[in-house]
Amino acid sequence: MGREPITETICGLTVTSSPLPFARAQELLPDIANLFSLIIKEMGGISDLKGTDDIVKLAPILGSVAGFLVGGNLERLAPKILAATEVIMADNRGDKLKYKLDTEKDRISVFDEHPEAYLMILLFAGRVTFARFFPASVLTAGEVKAA
């Protein structure tokens, strides 16, 4: 896996994410590793998550890491993880527009319209970058798909 962008359809949206540059990813790595270790602990091992393609299947994990995501951690980390991610979404006239999730305005526009896509897109963007750091893990298993 290189630095090429990856495009997937998530909750009906066309989402393209590029791996963050090493220096930016390295800055986030302690938090991601901490979160990853909580997930592994909750699920009893990495192999238990292989093939997870449904947000409903992730519910037990989300419950176990909710404590990590409070206190501003989610608000602090999500924009950084989404910094190299774009969404193609129709506006209210039906014209398809590109939204760059590195701006707060575009994140709000996309997730106000599609809150169900928030965690799925966040997971996808995280996998695009951090699968390079954890190559034999759940981060490289399958694709992120809408429920």
pTM of the entire predicted model: 0.76
Percentage of the chain modeled with pLDDT above 90 = 45
With 80 as the cut, is the pLDDT of residue 116 above it?
A: yes
Distance CA 13, CA 65 (A): 26
146 dihedral zone (left: phi>0; alpha: psi -120 to 50; beta): beta
Q: Which of 13-17, 47-51, 67-71 has the highest mean pLDDT?
A: 13-17
Q: Is the pLDDT of residue 146 over 90?
A: no
- Measured CA to CA, the distance from residue 120 to residue 145 in angstroms comes to 8
* Cα distance between residue 32 and residue 90, in whole Å: 32
* Helices 22-43 and 118-130, packing angle to 10 deg: 110
What pLDDT, on the 0 to 100 scale, is given for residue 130?
Answer: 87
- Between 84 and 142, where is the model more confident? 84
**Spatial separation of the C-alpha atoms in residues 99 and 87, rounded to whole Å:** 5
DSSP bridge pairs for 6 = 17
Q: How far apart (Å, rounded) are the C-alpha atoms in residues 15 and 146?
A: 12
